Structure 1
């Protein structure tokens, strides 16, 4: 029987690759490498990455609430120095299985048959997964970049649906989940550059305790005030938590990194 072997929370800050603060940058890149080693050691064969479109792929003509990529993948398409726009190993059969299960569970997800992903998916796929193609990726885009946002509860329920889908899948696939993005950052606003470590700690404490109620009780207004528009990406964390109920975790590192204008949090969630 297929099963979920673990989950991770990690940023996808594109400034990692252009910022001159080498000491901090190298430390953060080493955490991605550490996660990659953990993924390899877990024997994972599949990765589901939850991310947000940054008005690069879809807007403004089409803004799906949930989208699963079911075909060939490449990215990131953002042209980031140090990360090539390269093919990303995928599994259309597994992706289509998730789509079918989602539709049967009341989630009317959109699909992309061929997709060039942005940094939300491309950075974790290129840095936190083995480069030999042994772990195949299914991207799940959620509406957390621009309004209308996926409701927090719905994001958590989506993770529960993923857990059910994996648990009912034949075979011995080993699936790892990645919640990409965050934590506090303000993108393209007058507050850009602000970081709120208190908000970030609150989020990370909720993740490692395995209690989603703290995040689910937040309003969008509170998140915007305390975590910025980039803080809306905590929806991706909730999806991972929904798939790993009562799973406790560990903060791997946190940096209120001025060079990346973001509170960068890395955490691991283990199955209960």
Structure 2
């Protein structure tokens, strides 16, 4: 058996449109730096995957990675789960929806570990046939504050984790406190998934696949907490360890 190499972790990219400067409307490919730092801190090699509409390019990109992070970003088009858009749906980027779908197709085909964060949990749910609350005002009852504003590394609300779950095994606690930056969340759960975490208002905060080797998704932002929160850092550590197992030869 050969020596393990550092696993390459693909991070789904985003598109940023400049609102000013020299080139208003100019498009840039990016991810927030904390994703990269969390991967490096825990022994992985970050590989930012720019948004593409080419199936061939996306499949080739996924062939070069050992684990996949579906990162945060814009709202998911409601047409992805066969609903018309409601007034409080935010800005969408249908090309990102297509891109994430093809990333998941290729990653699942290769059976590599998958970690979903914020938009990532939402898209993984939609990918499996689930739906979303287009805004928490459509939830049907009062919710706690899920958009804390500034200070990304401040933890603001509780999440209860199910004991029979990967998240509980990673965080080693039933009751954790997380940060929060979302106005949408999982509504109807997709097929093959199970709920592993909820906030006190009943909003779904964690899901995982029932039978996939490692597919874990959270609604909060552990990449913004990994420096100060042991559980959030351990989530990246375990994910990258699972990815590194593919490096053995």
If the length of structure 2 is used for normalisation, what is the TM-score?
0.34
Structure with the larger helix share = 1
If the length of structure 1 is used for normalisation, what is the TM-score?
0.32
Q: Which is bigger in relative contact order (C-alpha 8 A, separation at least 6)?
A: 1
